[in-house]
Structure 1
Amino acid sequence: MWMGIDLGTQSVRAVVATDDGAVLGSGSAPLTGRRDGVRHEQSPDDWWSAVCTAAREALRDGHRPRALAVCSTSGTVLLADRNGRPLTPALMYDDGRAPGRGPGRALWLLREYGAGREARVLHQADLIVARLAGRLLPTDSSHALKTGYDAERGAFEEPGLPEGVLPDVVLPGTPLGEVSREAAEETGIPAGTTVVAGMTDGCAAQIASGSLTVGSWNSVLGTTLVLKGVTAEPLRDPAGVVYSHLSADGTWLPGGASGVGGGALRAAFPDADPAALDARAEDFEPAGAVAYPLGSPGERFPFTAPEATAFLLGRPASDADHWAALLQGVALTERLCLDYLDLLGAPVDGPLTFTGGAVRSDYWTRLRAEVLQRPVRVPQYSEPALGMAVLAAYGAGSADTVADAAERMVRLRHVVRPRGGERFTEPYLTMVGELERRGWLPGPLAAHARARTEHPGSTGSAGNAARSESTGSTERPT
């Protein structure tokens, strides 16, 4: 059996799964942080306490995993000393005080806290891995990506960073060390359990979705929206909106993270009963207003616009109509993300899988399939923690590839097929036009989105060549 640990924004989750994907135990613990304007920090000590709680809950029936892997939020960093003890609070991925990508965030921490020569840059997962093993270990190329690591070159970009600040880097799935006796006493994880290099939470969710063949895509919808796929080569994006992780199998995992998602729903309806509003929203397809439901200012995908804010065009007739507009707005943005990937030449017509907290809403899942006009697969259990259990199984040698391990461990719940119809075409074009009018959406993407709407079979520059690789998937039984 295998263990996965997921460090999210709001909680830590842990699972123990068998070699055929049966989840034997799970646990969770909440996380809180400090939000003040553009500031968003969390305490690294709180992460460790939450990991201890979640791990003990997952192992309460005496399970003994052979290996584990850890995922965490992409772009969250802190400074620690040479022994892995935190020297600063953690700068969360959406903290607006420092540049969002590259070495700039590490430089900001060094300037802000003046931590001295012993300072080491750690990603969120690195701290937990260090606490588990009792010493600093290399990071993985996935977490290192947003700290300026170039997976093609196998090196960091290091403008202005002191020597020795950045960690060594290995491929995801690489065995790193073992759980120490001290960590075993705190977490309940057996001493000697192999610790395997993990990936970011978006990649972990992609593994848990089983979307690991070239041309397949996984859309993770929770507080925000993350879309990730598989290509044979890195996807080139001159605008830097899409970035590509290197998988343990040697393929590339391009994708991006948008600010739209469930966070905007909670902000607009903090005390709502989502299921009740879902039932009423079915009467508003399309809604009486068009929403761009950003959870917080700034957009990263499918375009970069730090000044972007949420908007609502029109006046909803009721709370249900407003709720419907928000649900539809997320789905319309998801459609725009796929149009952008198509513009870059990615194969986008292969199998599409939905994961994340939003799949708990059957209505929202069906609505998204309707807006995208394509069938979608929903796994039985899609938590990023399961993805890390799959990666741990691969890293411990139980499968030749991560894709093989996922084929064995990921179970499909059902396939949702759209009913057909073009009732969301007008709202989509309205949203595209408004984003372009505000100067956030580049003209070429707006034009491509309109062209694909008018001619659904059209593709980007490399789409036709890649299409043949993206249609060979079969559906697995539950």
Structure 2
Amino acid sequence: MYVGIDVGTSMVKAAAFDSTGRELAIESRSVGLTLHGGVVEQDMEEVYAAVVDVLDSLTAQVPEPVELAGLTGQGDGVWLVDAQGRPVRAAASWMDGRAHELVDRWLADGTFETVFRRTGSAMFPGCPGPLLAWLESHEPKALDAAAAALYCKDMVFHRLTGAGPTTDVSDASMPFLDPRTRSYDNRVVELLGLTHRRGLLAPVSDPVATAPALGEGLAAGTRLANGPYDLPACALGAGVTSPGDGLLIVGTCLASLVATTDLDLTGEPAGLYISTDRPGHWLRAMPAMVGTAALDWVLSTTGVRHEEVDGLLADTPPGAHGVRVLPYFAPSGERAPFVEPRLRAELTGVSLESTRADLVRATCEGIGYAARHCLAAAGLTGTLAVCGGGTRSPAWMRLLADVLGRPLRVVEGEVGARGAVLAAAERYGEPLDAEAWTRPTAVVEPDAARAAYYAEGYEEHLTRLTAARARARA
């Protein structure tokens, strides 16, 4: 039995697989987010307790011993811990927006672009650079008390194994890692005013770190590997490794990834290059801030249940009777395929005749247009896989295929956990059949007429977005 652990933003999951990649059991626990005034934080003890709980429940279901386990989780944010791996303060989430003024300043003075040209990382308020700089200005005592500024999965690995602070090249990619040398760029640290905090950056393990579990959640001695984080783990779990092939993750974050061997640091600074376990291979990532979270907000606001979505999508035609949604709901604005910290969602074309179905379809279409924008910017030329919670809606998948104008290789199940196991197996030399583990569960073809309609709608979306970005800067 192989176990993958995925420490998500709102849900902690663990999945057990046999040697062929068949899912044997899945356990999950929700974890909370605290949101107030643009600040988005998580309780580290709650997150870690959820990890132990799902592992205890999972391993109790399947009597076979765990051969090895792989760990993945949400990226970005700042998870400050002391020398024992205990929290110094609440974790600042990747969704946090408190550092937007710093990003605004760096955008204006050229620091933002300089960092991108050196690392391929377009900073946004919820990534470690701005957050650490904000903490330095407002909570320096928290940094004084910390032994390390970790990413989410690194905190969990630290606690599960007792190993020293460590991260991997994927998490370190935003924003301090030089993708050519696969080590921290000290000039970037200096540019962000953090040279005297350089010691808080966890050592980069390349390849990913391994250590035996201490006995919480996993039996003592169980082999555990740390990383990569959730976006590249999903790419591995979906079989997206050939240059030009892409993955769309329809989750809380709408993430578009394209495998590439071309490191191009020119063009508009946006997204990031995620270093992978293979030197010279990257994932060009355009992780838009809000995916299913945008639809969740609309559903909760209109009183619609998730199980009603497919029926509502069938109740209104493409174009949603003129209702349009720019789905930029995150408190920290947008980070891909452009950075606009002050951008906010817009809902237009609504009248007293508009229905809940119109609002739901318009939101799904808006998310689809945002995905198309991201995939184009990331350089998609090959096949496209799709995974995430959104795949549970067949109607939404058909809509997405139409909006994107291409077939979707749907990969269901716990794709991030699956990728974490494959990464762990590679690290430990376990011979797993990656092709069998990543086989799609379905292929959704676009309808030619609807795809043509949405191609025009996409151009309209870009026009509305240009105007919205101008208003955000005014």
TM-score normalised per structure 2: 0.85
**Structure-1 residue corresponding to 2:237:** 208
Q: Is the 8 A contact 2:173 2:275 kept in 1?
A: no
Q: Is the 8 A contact 2:210 2:226 kept in 1?
A: yes
| Cα distance per residue 1:37-59 (max 9 Å; x no partner) | 21111111111100011111221
**Structure-1 residue corresponding to 2:200:** 165
- 1:142-221 to 2 correspondence within 5 Å? 142-156=170-184, 157-159=188-190, 160-162=194-196, 163-172=198-207, 174-180=208-214, 184=215, 186-187=216-217, 189-221=218-250
**Structure-2 residue corresponding to 1:369:** 401
Question: Within 2, Cα distance between the matches of 1:278 and 1:131?
Answer: 41
- Cα RMSD of the aligned pairs, angstroms, is 2.1
**Structure-2 residue corresponding to 1:474:** none
**Structure-2 residue corresponding to 1:356:** 388
**Structure-2 residue corresponding to 1:446:** none
Q: Is the 8 A contact 1:235 1:254 kept in 2?
A: no
Q: Is the 8 A contact 1:83 1:135 kept in 2?
A: no
* Distance change in 2, residues 1:382/1:26 (3 Å): closer
**Structure-2 residue corresponding to 1:12:** 12
Question: Within 1, Cα distance between the matches of 2:471 and 2:79?
Answer: 33
Q: How many residue pairs end up in the alignment?
A: 427
Deviation, 1:113, is 4.5
Deviation, 1:275, is 3.5
- 1:324-339 to 2 correspondence within 5 Å? 324-339=361-376
Deviation, 1:224, is 2.6
**Structure-2 residue corresponding to 1:134:** 162
* Distance change in 2, residues 1:102/1:40 (3 Å): closer
* More helix, by proportion: 2
Q: Is the 8 A contact 1:69 1:197 kept in 2?
A: yes
Deviation, 1:294, is 2.2
Q: Is the 8 A contact 2:169 2:204 kept in 1?
A: yes
Q: Establish whether residue 42 from structure 1 lines up as the match of residue 76 from structure 2.
A: no
* Distance change in 2, residues 1:249/1:428 (3 Å): same
Instruction: Tell me the amino acid that sits aligned with residue 178 of structure 1.
Output: P
Deviation, 1:394, is 1.3
Q: Is the 8 A contact 2:75 2:171 kept in 1?
A: yes
Q: Establish whether residue 412 from structure 1 lines up as the match of residue 440 from structure 2.
A: yes
1:125 to 124, 149, 153: 153
| Cα distance per residue 1:197-239 (max 9 Å; x no partner) | 3012111111111111111100001223000110013243543
**Structure-2 residue corresponding to 1:82:** 83
Q: Is the 8 A contact 1:290 1:430 kept in 2?
A: no
SS in 1 for 2:274: strand
Instruction: Tell me the amino acid that sits aligned with residue 350 of structure 1.
Output: G
Deviation, 1:29, is 1.2
SS in 2 for 1:412: coil
Q: Is the 8 A contact 2:77 2:131 kept in 1?
A: no
Q: Establish whether residue 225 from structure 1 lines up as the match of residue 251 from structure 2.
A: no
Q: Is the 8 A contact 1:261 1:295 kept in 2?
A: no
Query: Which stretches in structure 2 are left out of the alignment for 5+ residues?
Result: 100-124
Instruction: Tell me the amino acid that sits aligned with residue 147 of structure 2.
Output: A
Question: Within 1, Cα distance between the matches of 2:458 and 2:471?
Answer: 13
SS in 2 for 1:4: strand
Q: Establish whether residue 386 from structure 1 lines up as the match of residue 386 from structure 2.
A: no
Deviation, 1:327, is 0.8
Deviation, 1:118, is 5.4
The more displaced of 115-124 and 209-218 is: 115-124
1:239 to 239, 262, 268: 268
SS in 2 for 1:210: coil
**Structure-1 residue corresponding to 2:58:** 58
Q: Is the 8 A contact 2:309 2:393 kept in 1?
A: no
SS in 2 for 1:59: helix
* Distance change in 2, residues 1:394/1:324 (3 Å): same
SS in 2 for 1:226: strand
Give every structure 1 segment of 4 or more consecutive aligned residues whose post-TM-superposition deviation is greater than 6 Å: none
Question: Within 2, Cα distance between the matches of 1:238 and 1:375?
Answer: 28
Q: Is the 8 A contact 1:2 1:392 kept in 2?
A: no
